[in-house]
Amino acid sequence: MNTDGKSENEQAAIWNGVSGCAWIDLQELLDQVLRPFEDLLVESVVAASASSVLDVGCGTGGTTLAVARSLAATSHCTGIDISQPMIALARARAEKERLRPGFIVDDAQSHVFEPASFDMIISRFGVMFFDDTVRAFANLRSAARTDARLLLIVWRGAADNPFMTTAERAAASLLPNVPPRQPDGPGQFALADQSRVRDILMKSGWTGIEIKPIDVVCTFPEQQLVAYFTRLGPLGRILEPVEDKTRRHVIATVRAAFDPYVHGDEVRFVAACWSVSARAPQAR
């Protein structure tokens, strides 16, 4: 199996470039912020007694490693991500913990998986970036065993997640080149429309589709807030080369906009998401 495939698309450039580097630098912070979702996925894996798990869009490996810790000795977890530097960190973390998950550098949309090789496929915010979502989920279905479970956590819409767009809204008048969100294009809110998610999964061959809203309180230290909004999201992709005076003004303006989410020494916000589950049908 080729575990270091190449994918020449825009998302590969983003996640092997500035965004991937930001996630690597902020790995501990992001793992803390997203741990409630990691815990939900691990609980589901354990409850299902899964023996072969695929973690799609695994990034720096937080969820993959958490699943690997929870599995029986005869079970296995594999993470796949398009970002070579993020997978390099995931592998280093696994080695440090003496865990043995597998990691694949490739696009899950097109990677040639061994057919029917997983009895559970999971993702923590890793499936919103495909160029062709139906093709991607059909490819994942081909990797699933009969009756394998698909369990995804994805973001609901921007209107339900004002924290996530605070930085770009506050900076808009100061930096007119902040990249706009593309509602149905690859990105954080690509799967916000539950009817679209259902249609994608049906067209790609999944059955037993259930989509439920979940609202999860996330927290992180206030002292990490500036690093968070200057490195991540649309603002993080364009702020670094801005001249110093403007950059300082942007940071001060954006920091003030986050005040409603700051409670003492802690940042607190509600993440509005979908929990999406489905089953792989029996092959005909």
- Asked if 169 and 161 count as a contact pair (C-beta separation under 8 A), the reply is no
Cβ density class 218-252: b for 16+ within 10 Å, e for less = bebebebbeebbbbbbbbbbebeebeeeebeebbe
Q: Which amino acid appears at position 75 of this protein?
A: S
> Which pLDDT value is given to residue 252?
98
The pLDDT of residue 284 is: 55
Domains contained in the chain, CATH given:
10-156+183-215+272-279 (3.40.50.150)
**What DSSP string describes 67-94?**
HHHHS-TT-EEEEEES-HHHHHHHHHHH
Instruction: Please give the pLDDT value at position 178.
Output: 86
Return the pLDDT at 3.
42
Give dist(CA 99, CA 265) in Å, integer.
34
Q: Can you give the pLDDT at residue 177?
A: 86
Q: What is the pLDDT of residue 283?
A: 63
User: What Å distances lie between residue 9 and 82, 133, 170, 186, 201, CA to CA?
Assistant: 10, 14, 30, 11, 23
Q: What is the pLDDT of residue 5?
A: 41
- 21 vs 38: CA distance, rounded Å: 21
Lookup: tokens for 214:
């979940």
Whole-model pTM: value is 0.94
- With a CB cutoff of 8 Å and minimum separation 6, the contacts of 155 are 125, 128, 161, 164, 188, 189, 191, 192, 271, 272, 273, 274
pLDDT under 50: residue ranges of the chain: 1-8
Burial of 209 (0-12, 13-18, 19+ CB in 10 A): middle
Structure token digits, residue 162: 């004002």
